[in-house]
Amino acid sequence: MSKKEIYLNNPNLPTVNAAFEYTPHMVSEITKCSENLIHFAETYFYIISLDEGKQTIALHLYQKRALRMMRDNRFSLLLFSRQTGKSTISTIFCLWQACFNENQNIIIVANKENTAKTIFKRLRLAYESLPNWLKPGVREYGKESMELANGSTIGITTTTGTAGRGSSANLIFIDEADWIESGLLAEFWSSVYPIISSSKKSKIIMASTPRDTSGLFYRLYSDSLTGENNWVHMKITWDQVPGRDEKWKKDTIKSLSSPEVFRREFSCEFDQIGEAALDGELLDKMSRECLDPEIVLDNGAYNIWITPKENRIYAAGVDIAEGVGKDSSVIQILDITDLKNIIQCAVFRSNTITPTEFTAKLYNILQNWGNPIALIERNNCGAQVVDNLKREYNYENIVNFGASLVNTVTSKRNGIISHQNVKYKGVQNYRYWVNTLKCVQINDRQTVSELSDFTRNPNGTWCARSNKHDDHVMSLIWALFVLADDIVDKHFEILVKDDNNKPMEIKKLEYGYDYQVKATSIYTNERVGVGAELPILFGRESFEDDNMIDLGASGWEILYKE
């Protein structure tokens, strides 16, 4: 071609004036590609392989079925596992539609501008890789839109309420539809759907990995399963991709460190909005197995089911409230010595104790349990407690976590900074130990009650149902958070890991702080009667000695006797 026939000096971009001498083979191929989408894709569509570079695509059977489904139907839903090529086959279809059909207006939609540009960049590469004699020339060619000599256009947009308003479209492709914020997608949908509905041939393609049951994509897909709308659907899970087997699944779960993420991202299961964090059967079992505490202190605020023992490893999870009669400040003590049998040993709860008073109470209880590692939510009034625990009581066994905000060059902020990602990580970790492995023994009825009301919101976050509380749940989540990635190996030696790369056996580090019960920690200072200052002794195996007789005569009271 001459320079006049090349757009912007790019030899892969013929202009509208480009002329070719067509051979019989070229004419045959143009006809064949226009009539046979699969032939066009496998013969002329190029991709960039990480291992082999630029090459034509070899379609899997499910990809061929998906292309035919999009070709033959107006409304298509692709529920695809990750790494199955859903964006690639959608790009193939958009390019074929533009090249072999005149005056097509094609809109590619994504939730972010960068995502839309990435898809369009892939489409431009595929267009430039086509033989010049096979494709229409270009009138305009930019980073966000292109117009071909046959009158067809392809452009990108984001999910704003005004996207596409006032224009017509022959094909709209919405990428990762279930991951677009529900409000944005609903507003976008109300803007663009009238464009499509005004035509009898226009098409919409939605492709996505699943997120949850709150959005438009789920509703359309769910209704298509029962025939309640005119959408067609296709679901491709990880095991339908050639070359993937159980070993691949185990390795992928290990890399993700989360079976739940694999279930959603690769098995295409929607997260249920409004579902409890634990399954119903497990909650029923927990309710039946709850026990009355062996020891009750602080007028019922401090309940103990199993007393502290030597050579055990304990973890404390702490959630802090204002103490004004609403939410409660809660301390959960777990025995994590045996990770196949984690035991809830004690719970302190109070909705009237102030943060200042709670700091002293927290320190006393931590001493009861041998100064264990403590995971304390720093947010709001928690900062006052965790800072005073560190500064006034010199408590060292505090986990610091929460991005770079916790430890910087100029400051050290103690405790757990619970932003959305940290809380999500905590919930996923807690569900693994409680819901998946079912290895956590919950003895407290109030904790189980709050677990049943701890549900997923439409935005994917977790919290208590309306007018309910989640203080016991969050303190339990923080106690188990010590076993999460990026935390457990900083505080314990991991002896064995399971198939999901989670710790199975741990022991305290040979250096650092002692997380095991000390001999003096079996005592706790509690008042006996008005004005009494003497401590109550509990947990001793033998009371038959002269010292105990003298203590009894002096006013000491034996609260618990084995």
How close are the terminal C-alpha atoms of the chain, in Å? 97
Confirm whether 483 is domain-assigned. Answer: yes
Confirm whether 155 is domain-assigned. Answer: yes
For 252-286, the pLDDT digits (tens) are 887 776 677 888 889 998 876 655 667 777 888 88
Q: What is the pLDDT of residue 274?
A: 55
Which residues pair with residue 158 across a beta bridge?
110
* Same domain (yes/no): 350, 213: no
Instruction: Kindly give, in sequence order, each residue whose CB lies less than 8 Å from that of residue 196, ignoring residues fewer than 6 positions away.
Output: 169, 172, 202, 203, 204
Beta strands at 536-538 and 558-560: parallel, antiparallel or unpaired: parallel
* Same domain (yes/no): 546, 399: no
* Same domain (yes/no): 338, 469: yes
Show the tokens assigned to 367: 């001493």
Confirm whether 7 is domain-assigned. Answer: no
Where does the pLDDT of residue 405 fall: very low under 50, low under 70, confident under 90, or very high at 90 and above? Answer: very low
Confirm whether 269 is domain-assigned. Answer: no
Range with the poorest average pLDDT among 12-26, 46-60, 360-374, 472-486: 46-60
Q: What is the pLDDT of residue 406?
A: 44
Range with the poorest average pLDDT among 167-181, 402-416, 445-459: 402-416
Range with the poorest average pLDDT among 131-140, 145-154, 172-181, 459-468: 459-468
Q: What are phi and psi of 432, to 5 degrees?
A: -65, -50
* Same domain (yes/no): 155, 213: yes
Mean per-residue pLDDT for 343-370?
Answer: 94
* Same domain (yes/no): 505, 536: no
CA distances from 399 to 143, 178, 244, 378, 407 (A): 48, 36, 39, 11, 11
Residue 472 has pLDDT above 60, yes or no: yes
Q: What is the pLDDT of residue 49?
A: 67
Confirm whether pTM is higher than 0.75: no
Q: What is the pLDDT of residue 454?
A: 85
* Same domain (yes/no): 310, 403: yes
Confirm whether 459 is domain-assigned. Answer: yes
For 528-546, the pLDDT digits (tens) are 332 333 344 444 444 555 6
* Same domain (yes/no): 354, 443: yes
More reliable by pLDDT, 294 or 529: 294
Which residues pair with residue 156 across a beta bridge?
108
For 61-96, the pLDDT digits (tens) are 999 999 999 999 999 999 999 888 888 898 999 999
Number of structural domains the chain divides into: 3
Q: What is the pLDDT of residue 407?
A: 44
* Same domain (yes/no): 511, 555: no
- CATH number for the domain spanning 162: value is 3.40.50.300
Share of the chain above pLDDT 90, in %: 48
Q: What are phi and psi of 268, to 5 degrees?
A: 60, 45
Q: What is the pLDDT of residue 558?
A: 65
Q: What is the pLDDT of residue 554?
A: 66
Where does the pLDDT of residue 306 fall: very low under 50, low under 70, confident under 90, or very high at 90 and above? Answer: very high
Range 83-117 burial, b when 16+ CB lie within 10 A, else e: ebbbbbbbbbbbbbbbbbeeebbbbbbbbeeebbe
Mean per-residue pLDDT for 140-152?
Answer: 93
Residue 408 has pLDDT above 50, yes or no: no
User: Scanning the structure block, which residue is given the tokens 């947010």?
Assistant: 379
Q: What is the pLDDT of residue 347?
A: 97
* HEC-encoded secondary structure of 175-239: ECHHHCCHHHHHHHHHHHHHHHHCCCCCEEEEEECCCECCCHHHHHHHHHHCCCCCCEEEEECHH
* Same domain (yes/no): 546, 405: no
Task: Give the three-class secondary structure for 315.
Answer: strand
CA separation for the pair 448, 286 (Å, rounded): 7
Sign of torsion, CA 321 349 315 469? negative
- CATH number for the domain spanning 299: value is 3.30.420.240
* Same domain (yes/no): 52, 114: yes
Q: What is the pLDDT of residue 549?
A: 66
* Same domain (yes/no): 321, 451: yes
Eight-class DSSP state of 467:
T
Which residues pair with residue 80 across a beta bridge?
236
| Mean pLDDT taken over the chain | 84
Pair 392, 363: CB distance under 8 Å: no
Where does the pLDDT of residue 526 fall: very low under 50, low under 70, confident under 90, or very high at 90 and above? Answer: very low
Domain of residue 550: give its range.
525-560
Share of the chain above pLDDT 70, in %: 83
Q: What is the pLDDT of residue 191?
A: 73
Confirm whether 261 is domain-assigned. Answer: no
CA distances from 7 to 138, 140, 165, 435 (A): 7, 9, 31, 60
* Same domain (yes/no): 371, 516: yes
Mean per-residue pLDDT for 220-239?
Answer: 92
Confirm whether 60 is domain-assigned. Answer: yes
Confirm whether 9 is domain-assigned. Answer: no
Residue 533: Cβ-neighbour burial (10 angstroms; 0-12, 13-18, 19+): exposed
